[in-house]
Structure 1
């Protein structure tokens, strides 16, 4: 069968659907790849509007080059990113060969896959809005393609608003069933397809290691890491330390977590004040750390507290995770330090940082009290060092180079140097990584902790007091601790200040979305079922409830479909023909059900000789347009519709009384 060519309007609808489908995934690509795909789309639209195509060889080479570029953008890896980029490249290239209705339908089908690929990267409300808009345009394009093929419909005037409304009705019809499946269909603890986002997209960037330059990458990332709601009055911003991994092993340059640090019983924690409970909504991470206020005392459900007071979940959280944690703000942590732990927290690599060891030996000879050594080190930092996000690189003996040469750095430099100084003086010490501070969003009454709030501080063990937090960065840049990174970088411009309320509102909406939709997991579903009075252990009861809910949803959908179908616009050509028949009936000539259009018009022509030729012409053209296999000429069909609507009988047949 001969392919039906696309008219300009239908092609533009297909192109709009393709562009809309790519919008959710384009922001995830490198800028150069997004620009390349947009250029390919622009080329395809330009050629399609002029009804031209590139030579087959050139089109094939361009498609292959675009595909290679998409794979190269994801590092030639086999991952969701590679698949999404390749799908986007193929969809953009599809417009280069879209010239028929069949091509248009293929492009619309591929567009639906691109919409789904967008949710693999992000499940936020903006992605949903973009996806809904894309689905509406895809359905509208499919409606337009159907009109091109069906007899009589291709010439009918199509109002964009009416077509868009019809597409939105289709989506609305599916909502009841979708809602029932989302909230009531049994959920699995983890998605069947793995993580909703690839591992390298995990936003909570704390890791098992730290070396000079690692944290600064996070300091430049303003994306959210945690959203925290306190049960009661929260502490001041300067005391908000969010505990993550504890790093004890040092090889001369890099700090790392002791391999056995995640195992063993909890260390003794004596809370000298009330526990502070808080709800944490943590962004996706490839690690098992659950970050909460320092020092964790009550672990979330399904998690445990390691000996170093790091909280571990049973598995990595590759989607938004919400949990409740209790922390001790006033405490004594591990007041009795075992010999093996003491030895580990004093260990330093041999052959490194001789100047630092010599300095601490001198200080210890002058005053060996731990408190005195701590204060002397902090005084040195305060007097002679500068906080900088762009410090010079360090030599092999990184601590010596930092203390005696560069004297510039940020939190990880100060924490690393301080721990080495303390260990050199015989004081057990370790590095703690996490976040410090946060922004209080008054609209949602929660604290937003960003990746740019990433921080490193230290803990020293003191006799009778246990592990004590010491933040050497506070001695150098107290404004960093009081005001976060905003105390270091220049203040925002007027536009940012005026836009802050809007940003707060949007972030509060995102938090609510994460709670209601993204974090709706198996545990939350069980809570919902309990509130509905259903026994989650009785599978028969759950099955009956699910079947009943699905039946109700389908009934509602069919009711909406029935109502929508009753108001569907009639074929304009058929509607014009019926109007002609009504006018002839008003003139005294009614069409019998058994008559064909040709038979009816022949009878009407005999009864109305003045209109005979006009009626016969209308009949022949109507039959040809509606039933015969003739070329579909839109202008001719529109002219016929106008003539059918404008026809008025010149005479009227008067019926004789019986």
Structure 2
């Protein structure tokens, strides 16, 4: 005999489909063996359902749980909090498949599935992620409905239809709550390890660091200009941080935290724009060179870079302003001058000697810069895969390999000018950006990472010098994708990136439209709190409590009224047969006079009862009963008989 509350076959199948749907988006970030274990548990449960084997003994399940827990901790590590928690929860979720037999077991699995589906939004919040999570929630609700489905009606698709009917009325209410209810900050925040892996530029710069970023097509940030037009390609330098300390091989970011003081007068075109920066795990914010205004809580440091109060671990938006000026005069303090001239006491002797010889011939800053750029343009080449440099990295690059990426050129130029007595520093950031015409914004990707040099000119201030332009001027005017696409290391980390297929028209258009859709999703959904007040003022004028109350009450009343109407209609008997429908309408007319048809009462007997109570209706009600029985039980009933029956029903209604 079947156990009480044992799951039906459709209910079991919905549990298994639910598990697969929850697993799919997590499968690439979980340890490789955990999805295999899940599919193994699925197969085992199906084998039990087919009667080929039995449920495992409790001791076997205990050993599997302990082994899975230890395996997750060893595979992920204790320091990765959210990833470890999700993996452990998923291990228990998978093993619970080996216990679902009764309703209570399935309910535990379903409740955990709701939570696991929501955890996907910890790792991605794009429109695609949101749509998939919404779909999974519908499937989980269908699994919940299937658990309570009667054994007498084991329809497989019925739980899904019920789930859709439950979700549809909630959608307009969700939109109303989203638009009207004020946002509050998160109660807690857990940093994700995978966010730290996508840092882009770090606070140290070694030969080859920047070139390694060209293997990734991940988005660094997006920019939308108030004017609707981007600056020229040659002016798209995105400033992130400066490097000033050199240990002979590696440059470190400036430690100065003093604030920037705007000069008395500045030249150059002023641009206002909004930057949407992806999580980087670093505190600096990228801005068009050179930023002049930034909102709280950003700080503009003395080196004119922007720094957030904490590491950026989620997508952020800032409204910034920059001037496309080539120089800004600021006094250089003695401490700053010493810092921007500092070099190790030993190492790279040939480069020092070369710089001193140039200084002896022409000690002006312009002359030194011109000599260095001429050397690069005459003897050097630009490549993503330069040879490995030794301990004297500058000497090896200048006199041996003579090939490199932007970091090699910026590092060597900064060293040469410092050795010649000119204050110099390296700036790390990005150069370029792809214009998306569908929403009019720039997309800057990791492979557009760049490094250049800033040189101090007495009476002018810091001046940007990009030594890469002397070797590969097309890097400044062309997009990085066009220049680097033929290089062997380009997009090596993302081989299936749509950017690689940008030369195919329809793929490129689809890629841009998809990115534009995600950009709109971020601005108006994920960052809605930044625009909520402006939108409410446009919709409601002056925002008052009674307007918000009406804005919530009216749509809620409409939706709940619609749901109530649907429930009332479900209680009414339904029939698609016009013969029975006509009889039901007639019975409804008699019911108001106390002569309604009793459940299961034959039509002939019903007609006789009415004739006894209403002799004046006896002929016509008898005709209705006779024609009904002919339509139902006589062979070969035709359309003429059908019309006669309907006419008799109408005549009976008129006589009433």
Q: Cα distance, 1:361 vs. partner?
A: 1.3
Per-residue CA deviations over 1:456-509 (Å, capped at 9, x if unaligned) read 111111223321111122223333332214312239458854311001000000
Residues in 1 aligned to 2:95 and 2:371: alpha-carbon distance in whole angstroms: 66
Show the counterpart of 1:82. 84
Residue 313 in 1 paired to residue 321 in 2?
no
User: Per the alignment, do residues 305 and 116 of structure 1 end up closer, same or farther by CA in structure 2, a change over 3 Å counting?
Assistant: same
Per-residue CA deviations over 1:129-182 (Å, capped at 9, x if unaligned) read 1111111111111111101xxxxx21215251x432321221223234433443
Show the counterpart of 2:525. 517
Contact 1:461–1:467 (Cα < 8 Å) also in 2: yes
Residues in 1 aligned to 2:385 and 2:16: alpha-carbon distance in whole angstroms: 46
Residue 68 in 1 paired to residue 66 in 2?
no
Per-residue CA deviations over 1:344-365 (Å, capped at 9, x if unaligned) read 1111122232221122112222
**More off after superposition, 506-515 vs 287-296:** 287-296
What stretches of structure 1 of length at least 5 have no aligned partner? 148-152, 573-578, 593-658
Per-residue CA deviations over 1:321-350 (Å, capped at 9, x if unaligned) read 222222111242235323222111111122
User: Per the alignment, do residues 551 and 198 of structure 1 end up closer, same or farther by CA in structure 2, a change over 3 Å counting?
Assistant: farther
**More off after superposition, 425-434 vs 362-371:** 362-371
Q: Cα distance, 1:451 vs. partner?
A: 1.6
Show the counterpart of 1:345. 340
Show the counterpart of 2:9. 8
User: Per the alignment, do residues 405 and 479 of structure 1 end up closer, same or farther by CA in structure 2, a change over 3 Å counting?
Assistant: same
Residues in 1 aligned to 2:27 and 2:558: alpha-carbon distance in whole angstroms: 36
SS at structure 2 position matched to 1:490: coil
SS at structure 1 position matched to 2:7: coil
Residues in 2 aligned to 1:581 and 1:60: alpha-carbon distance in whole angstroms: 60
SS at structure 2 position matched to 1:395: coil
Show the counterpart of 1:632. none
User: Per the alignment, do residues 496 and 3 of structure 1 end up closer, same or farther by CA in structure 2, a change over 3 Å counting?
Assistant: farther
Contact 2:27–2:35 (Cα < 8 Å) also in 1: no
Contact 1:289–1:312 (Cα < 8 Å) also in 2: yes
Q: Cα distance, 1:281 vs. partner?
A: 1.5
**More off after superposition, 218-227 vs 551-560:** 551-560
Question: 5 Å matches for 1:279-298?
Answer: 279-298=274-293
Residue 167 in 1 paired to residue 167 in 2?
no
SS at structure 2 position matched to 1:263: coil
Select which of 435, 438, 445 maps to 1:443.
438
| TM-score normalised by structure 2 residue count | 0.79
Residue 230 in 1 paired to residue 225 in 2?
yes
Select which of 374, 377, 382 maps to 1:387.
382
User: Per the alignment, do residues 44 and 451 of structure 1 end up closer, same or farther by CA in structure 2, a change over 3 Å counting?
Assistant: farther
Aligned positions, number = 573
Contact 2:195–2:313 (Cα < 8 Å) also in 1: no
Show the counterpart of 2:18. 17
**More off after superposition, 55-64 vs 99-108:** 55-64
Q: Cα distance, 1:16 vs. partner?
A: 0.9
Q: Cα distance, 1:533 vs. partner?
A: 5.1
Residues in 2 aligned to 1:184 and 1:423: alpha-carbon distance in whole angstroms: 58
User: Per the alignment, do residues 204 and 559 of structure 1 end up closer, same or farther by CA in structure 2, a change over 3 Å counting?
Assistant: farther
Contact 1:386–1:408 (Cα < 8 Å) also in 2: yes
Select which of 507, 526, 534 maps to 1:527.
534
Contact 1:247–1:432 (Cα < 8 Å) also in 2: yes
Contact 1:241–1:294 (Cα < 8 Å) also in 2: yes
Show the counterpart of 1:264. 259
Show the counterpart of 1:50. 50
User: Per the alignment, do residues 45 and 515 of structure 1 end up closer, same or farther by CA in structure 2, a change over 3 Å counting?
Assistant: farther
Show the counterpart of 2:602. 585
User: Per the alignment, do residues 587 and 26 of structure 1 end up closer, same or farther by CA in structure 2, a change over 3 Å counting?
Assistant: farther
User: Per the alignment, do residues 246 and 71 of structure 1 end up closer, same or farther by CA in structure 2, a change over 3 Å counting?
Assistant: same
SS at structure 1 position matched to 2:528: coil
Show the counterpart of 2:36. 36
Select which of 141, 155, 158 maps to 1:158.
155
Contact 2:524–2:531 (Cα < 8 Å) also in 1: no
Contact 2:82–2:190 (Cα < 8 Å) also in 1: no
Q: Cα distance, 1:557 vs. partner?
A: 4.2
What stretches of structure 2 of length at least 5 have no aligned partner? 488-499, 575-583, 585-596, 610-656
Per-residue CA deviations over 1:49-84 (Å, capped at 9, x if unaligned) read 435433433333333333333333432225112112
Residues in 2 aligned to 1:21 and 1:560: alpha-carbon distance in whole angstroms: 32
Residues in 2 aligned to 1:334 and 1:146: alpha-carbon distance in whole angstroms: 76
Select which of 369, 374, 380 maps to 1:374.
369
Q: Cα distance, 1:2 vs. partner?
A: 5.3
Show the counterpart of 1:136. 138
Residues in 2 aligned to 1:69 and 1:48: alpha-carbon distance in whole angstroms: 26
Residue 251 in 1 paired to residue 247 in 2?
yes
Residues in 1 aligned to 2:354 and 2:266: alpha-carbon distance in whole angstroms: 36
Residues in 1 aligned to 2:391 and 2:285: alpha-carbon distance in whole angstroms: 34
Select which of 415, 418, 422 maps to 1:423.
418
Residues in 1 aligned to 2:437 and 2:554: alpha-carbon distance in whole angstroms: 41
Q: Cα distance, 1:426 vs. partner?
A: 0.9
Select which of 443, 462, 465 maps to 1:470.
465
Q: Cα distance, 1:297 vs. partner?
A: 1.5
Q: Cα distance, 1:85 vs. partner?
A: 1.9
Contact 2:329–2:459 (Cα < 8 Å) also in 1: no
Q: Cα distance, 1:529 vs. partner?
A: 4.0
| TM-score normalised by structure 1 residue count | 0.79
Show the counterpart of 1:597. none
Contact 2:413–2:467 (Cα < 8 Å) also in 1: yes
User: Per the alignment, do residues 390 and 29 of structure 1 end up closer, same or farther by CA in structure 2, a change over 3 Å counting?
Assistant: farther
Residues in 2 aligned to 1:60 and 1:493: alpha-carbon distance in whole angstroms: 50
Show the counterpart of 2:124. 122
Residues in 2 aligned to 1:180 and 1:504: alpha-carbon distance in whole angstroms: 30
Residues in 2 aligned to 1:404 and 1:566: alpha-carbon distance in whole angstroms: 88
Q: Cα distance, 1:417 vs. partner?
A: 1.6
Task: Give the superposed CA RMSD.
Answer: 3.3
Contact 1:411–1:456 (Cα < 8 Å) also in 2: yes
Residues in 1 aligned to 2:462 and 2:603: alpha-carbon distance in whole angstroms: 100
Residues in 2 aligned to 1:342 and 1:494: alpha-carbon distance in whole angstroms: 46
Show the counterpart of 1:186. 182
Residues in 2 aligned to 1:339 and 1:49: alpha-carbon distance in whole angstroms: 81
SS at structure 2 position matched to 1:390: coil
Residues in 2 aligned to 1:63 and 1:568: alpha-carbon distance in whole angstroms: 47
Contact 2:224–2:275 (Cα < 8 Å) also in 1: yes
Contact 1:202–1:283 (Cα < 8 Å) also in 2: no
Residues in 2 aligned to 1:203 and 1:531: alpha-carbon distance in whole angstroms: 38
User: Per the alignment, do residues 321 and 408 of structure 1 end up closer, same or farther by CA in structure 2, a change over 3 Å counting?
Assistant: same
SS at structure 1 position matched to 2:115: helix
Show the counterpart of 2:105. 103
Show the counterpart of 2:651. none
Residues in 1 aligned to 2:298 and 2:360: alpha-carbon distance in whole angstroms: 45
